[in-house]
Amino acid sequence: MKFSTVMSPHLQPVNSVDRVMLQVLLALIPGIAAMTWFFGIGVLINIALAVVVALLAEASILGLRGRPIGSTLKDLSAVVTAVLLSISLPVIAPWWITVVGSLFAIVIAKHLYGGLGYNPFNPAMAGYVLLLVSFPMQMTAWLAPIELGSVALSEIDLLKLIFLEQLPDNVNFDAVTMATPLDSVRTQLGLGRSVPEIKTDSVFGLLAGKGWEWVAGGYLLGGLWLMWRKIIGWQIPVGLLLGLGLFASICYAIDSNQFALPSFHLVAGATMLGAFFIATDPVTAATSVNGRIIYGLLIGSLVYIIRVWGGYPDAMAFAVLLGNLTAPAIDYFTRPRVFGQKA
Amino acid sequence: MFSEYSKIVKDGLWLNNQAFVALLGLCPLLAVSNTVINGLGLGLATTMTLVVSNTVVSLIRNFVPDEIRLPVFVLVIASVVTMIELAMNAWFFGLYKILGIFIPLIVTNCSIIGRAEAYASKQRADKAFLDGLSMGLGFTFALVTLGSLREIIGSGTLFAKAELMFGEAAKTWQIDVITDYSGMLLAILPPGAFIGLGLLIALKNIIDTKVKQRKPAHIQIPIQAAQEQ
């Protein structure tokens, strides 16, 4: 009988990059499923397109840099970036939006800085912000949830809309799109209506927008599973939700007509996706235990500040990028004390 | 003699390009390079300033006490820029309005005081003149390259609003590189300038490396071996 003798360490580490990335992808499934249920298969088309483009971009730039291509592609990090970017995009975004965003995320935000592990900014969010700043019109056209849309688009129609930017003859663009809950809170407040009045609009469901709250629930479920699997720590998600929730509660306590409920902010927009999947990116987040709590709190408060007083309805991408910028400083000031050293 | 002048020209245009190598004067470079014409306008104004200030600084270099040379140089540069600003106000009013604050700000362009201090204050007037001209043209080259890159990506055109510089006849110069293009705002906004400049510097480094590889390696006799012989 033959025994294989291997060098130490004999206990294999449980988490390699590709295992972590694979579990992140698995954890995204409930959210993506909810999104497909409420907004149609557009999201799946976006994901497929983004993944293909990201893998091609990663392969070609690895070739240019003279790095091993096959083994790096297998670590799935490009796939995670592509999926995170594409589920942040409007489900009817034209195909070139997805292509430009994925290319920017992989080539400029990731590989120009040295590839996985060296990028200071979350590639998916850098790609998203590029698109949001460059193409505001395409990036704000959100499809209405299926139960609210006045026209139902078939799968063929969706494909035509994404790849040819054509709608069926008798359908008008405004009939299929709809303001997101965060958008409508923002514009209606600008028109002088109070929050309780706005909440009675048809776009709102139990906590946030109809459909949207289920998507957020899906991400929450996946995020909790990741936490249970110890893929992500509790510090960043808890810090982020706490920061956002505290800020929202204070403002809500001051004036409940002007500021939406904290529960609305926690469920609306990209909060759940951001808290569990985006801010927790191990490369770009703070790494010390206390640092991660501060990092989460900072991003959470920034999300609220930008949502309420900033120029854009949702703020996760901007807040995460600003958080990324502070991560090295946070780590510097929260380095754990070496045992025996004076504080 | 001739090789000295050609070295000045080569330095200014390529080897020590103020924008791509020295990375000086980035504020105007990044702020007004959103179209070719804006870049060309500011580039030529900067060139003009560099030529005149370099020449003047070189001519007065023997009369300026060392301790107060920098204030004197700044005064010279400021008066040159004031003249250029008034001239642009008179003859290129449209361009003057677009470039706005960046024309008076040429005073603070560090490549100008840099050339005055590092070169013109130590060299003869003819060399200082040539240095100003080639450094300025190198800067203009960078501005126009970055400007065309950003204009094509940002709005899909080239030479838009050429009439601001070249008169009414230039109204037809605009080339629509990409038709039916709704534009990419990022290229026109400041981040586009930073990304574009970074890519151009990378391109310059690639060209330099390729050129170096193509040259046959010089055969060098090690010093020790030479000494032993």
In DSSP notation, A261-314 reads -HHHHHHSTTHHHIIIIITT-TTTS--SHHHHHHHHHHHHHHHHHHHHHSSSS-
pTM: 0.84
CB contact under 8 A, B182 and A130: no
CB contact under 8 A, A135 and B184: yes
Model-level ipTM above the cut of 0.90: no
B186 in contact with A, Cβ within 8 Å: yes
Q: What is the pLDDT of residues B120-133, one digit of tens each?
A: 888 888 889 999 99
Residue type, A88: S
Q: Enumerate the residues of chain A whose CB falls inside 8 A of the CB of residue B205.
A: none
Looking at residue B92, what is its pLDDT? 83
Q: Give the containing element (helix H, strand E) for B145.
A: helix B125-155
CB contact under 8 A, B186 and A108: no
Domain annotation covers residue A337: no
Q: What is the pLDDT of residues A179-212, one digit of tens each?
A: 788 888 888 887 878 877 777 777 777 777 778 8
A137 in contact with B, Cβ within 8 Å: yes
Looking at residue A19, what is its pLDDT? 87
- Rounded to a whole number of angstroms, the CA Rg of chain A reads 21
Q: What is the pLDDT of residues A313-324, one digit of tens each?
A: 888 999 999 999
- List the one residue out of A44, A42, A15, A40 whose CA is nearest residue A28: A44
A133 in contact with B, Cβ within 8 Å: yes
Q: Enumerate the residues of chain A whose CB falls inside 8 A of the CB of residue B198.
A: 112
* b/e sequence A37-54, b meaning 16+ C-beta within 10 Å: ebbbbbbbbbbebbbebb
B191 in contact with A, Cβ within 8 Å: yes
Mean pLDDT computed over A224-246: 92
Name the residue with tokens 């080539």: A107
Domain annotation covers residue A343: no
CB contact under 8 A, A130 and B186: yes
Q: How many Å lie between the alpha carbon of B184 and the closest alpha carbon of chain A?
A: 5
Domain annotation covers residue A88: yes
B190 in contact with A, Cβ within 8 Å: no
Domain annotation covers residue A135: yes
Name the residue with tokens 């070139």: A96
Domain annotation covers residue A342: no
Residues 293-322 of A with CB under 8 A from B: none
Structure tokens at A140: 């704000």
CA distances from A239 to A246, A290, A316, B13, B24 (A): 10, 10, 14, 53, 42
Q: What is the pLDDT of residues A275-300, one digit of tens each?
A: 999 999 989 999 888 999 999 999 99
The answer to whether A299 touches A323, Cβ cutoff 8 Å, is yes
Q: How many Å lie between the alpha carbon of A60 and the closest alpha carbon of chain B?
A: 17
- List the one residue out of A248, A236, A227 whose CA is nearest residue A324: A236
- In whole angstroms, what is the distance from residue A268 CA to residue A212 CA? 7
Residues 27-56 of B with CB under 8 A from A: none
Q: Domain range holding A243? A: 17-332
- List the one residue out of A43, A25, A23, A159 whose CA is nearest residue A90: A43
B15 in contact with A, Cβ within 8 Å: no
Domain annotation covers residue A284: yes
Hey, of A108, A132, A134, which one would you mutate to test binding to chain B, going by the most B CBs within 10 A of its CB? A134
Q: How many Å lie between the alpha carbon of A56 and the closest alpha carbon of chain B?
A: 21
Hey, of B150, B178, B181, B184, which one would you mutate to test binding to chain A, going by the most A CBs within 10 A of its CB? B184
Domain annotation covers residue A196: yes
Mean pLDDT computed over A264-270: 87
Domain total of chain A: 1
Looking at residue A313, what is its pLDDT? 83
Mean pLDDT computed over A117-139: 90
B182 in contact with A, Cβ within 8 Å: yes
Domain annotation covers residue A309: yes
Q: Enumerate the residues of chain B whose CB falls inside 8 A of the CB of residue A134.
A: 184-187
- In whole angstroms, what is the distance from residue B87 CA to residue B96 CA? 10
- In whole angstroms, what is the distance from residue A157 CA to residue A178 CA? 17
Q: What is the pLDDT of residues B78-122, one digit of tens each?
A: 999 999 999 988 988 888 888 888 888 888 888 888 888 888 888
CA distances from A73 to A51, A57, A66, A68, A103 (A): 11, 10, 14, 9, 15
Q: Is the pLDDT of residue B229 over 60?
A: no
Q: Is the pLDDT of residue A51 over 80?
A: yes
Residues 109-128 of A with CB under 8 A from B: 112
CB contact under 8 A, A133 and B189: yes
CB contact under 8 A, B185 and A137: no
Q: What is the pLDDT of residues A64-113, one digit of tens each?
A: 888 888 888 888 899 999 999 999 998 888 999 999 999 999 999 999 99
Confidence bin at B225 (pLDDT 50/70/90): low
Looking at residue B217, what is its pLDDT? 61
Q: Is the pLDDT of residue B48 over 70?
A: yes
Q: Give the containing element (helix H, strand E) for A61.
A: helix A42-64
Residue spans of beta strands (DSSP E) within B86-185:
157-158, 175-176
Return phi, psi of residue A179, to 5°: -65, 140
Which residue does chain B place closest to A100, by CA atoms?
A: B184
- In whole angstroms, what is the distance from residue A292 CA to residue A334 CA? 9
